[in-house]
Amino acid sequence: MTRVTLLAGGVGGAKMAEGFDMNKDVELTIIGNVADDDEFHGLWVSPDIDTIIYTLSGKINRSQGWGVSDEGHRALDVLKELGKETWMFLGDRDFGLHIYRTERLKNGDLPTSITHDISKQFGLSSKIVLPTDDKVQTKVRTHNGWQTFQEYFVRDKCIPEVLELHYEGLLQSSINPEAENSIIGAELIVLAPSNPLVSITPIIEIPGFRNALQKTTAPILAVSPLIAGKVIKGPADKMLHSLGYRSDVLGIAQYYQDVVSHLLIDNQDSGFLEDISSTGIKTYCTDILMKDAKGKERLAQEILNIFHSLEIKR
Ligand code: GDP
Ligand code: CA
Q: Comparing C-alpha atoms, which of 305, 304, 310, 290 is closest to residue 3?
A: 304
136 neighbors 144 (Cβ within 8 angstroms): no
Q: What is 2-138+169-313's CATH topology? A: Rossmann fold (3.40.50)
The pLDDT score that the predictor gives to residue 313 is 59
Percent residues over pLDDT 90 in the chain = 98
47 neighbors 55 (Cβ within 8 angstroms): no
| pLDDT-derived band at 311, boundaries 50, 70, 90 | confident
As a whole number, mean pLDDT of residues 87-98 equals 98
Closest ligand by atom to 12 CA: 1
> Which residues share a beta bridge with 222?
191, 263
- Kindly list the protein residues whose Cβ atom lies closer than 6 A to any atom of ligand 1: 8-13, 15, 48, 192-195, 199, 223-225, 231-234, 236, 288-290
How far apart, in Å, do the first and last CA atoms of the chain sit?
18
> Which residues share a beta bridge with 21?
none
Q: How far is CA 48 from the centre of its chain?
A: 6
* C-alpha gyration radius of the chain: 19
235 neighbors 44 (Cβ within 8 angstroms): no
The β-bridge relationship of strands 2-8 and 188-191 is parallel
Q: Measure the CA–CA gap between 86 and 74, rounded to whole angstroms.
A: 12
The pLDDT score that the predictor gives to residue 314 is 57
- Mutating to test ligand 1, I would choose from 195, 204, 265, 285 the residue with most ligand atoms within 8 A of its C-beta, which is 195
pTM score, two decimals?
Answer: 0.98
The pLDDT score that the predictor gives to residue 55 is 98
What are the residues whose beta carbons fall under 8 Å from the beta carbon of 273, sequence distance 6 or more? Answer: 265, 283, 285
Residue 252, classed as helix, strand or coil, is helix
pLDDT tens-place string over residues 158-216: 999 999 999 999 999 999 999 999 999 999 999 999 999 999 999 999 999 999 999 99
The β-bridge relationship of strands 43-45 and 38-40 is antiparallel
The pLDDT score that the predictor gives to residue 238 is 98
| pLDDT-derived band at 228, boundaries 50, 70, 90 | very high
Q: Looking at the predicted structure, is the pLDDT value of residue 222 above 70?
A: yes
pLDDT tens-place string over residues 247-280: 999 999 999 999 999 999 999 999 999 999 999 9
Query: What's the gap in Å between 234 CA and the centre of ligand 1?
Result: 7
313 neighbors 218 (Cβ within 8 angstroms): yes
As a whole number, mean pLDDT of residues 208-237 equals 97
- Mutating to test ligand 1, I would choose from 60, 149, 227, 232 the residue with most ligand atoms within 8 A of its C-beta, which is 232
> Which residues share a beta bridge with 285?
265
pLDDT tens-place string over residues 134-164: 999 999 999 999 999 999 999 999 999 999 9
Q: Measure the CA–CA gap between 285 and 275, rounded to whole angstroms.
A: 14
Query: What's the gap in Å between 314 CA and the centre of ligand 1?
Result: 26
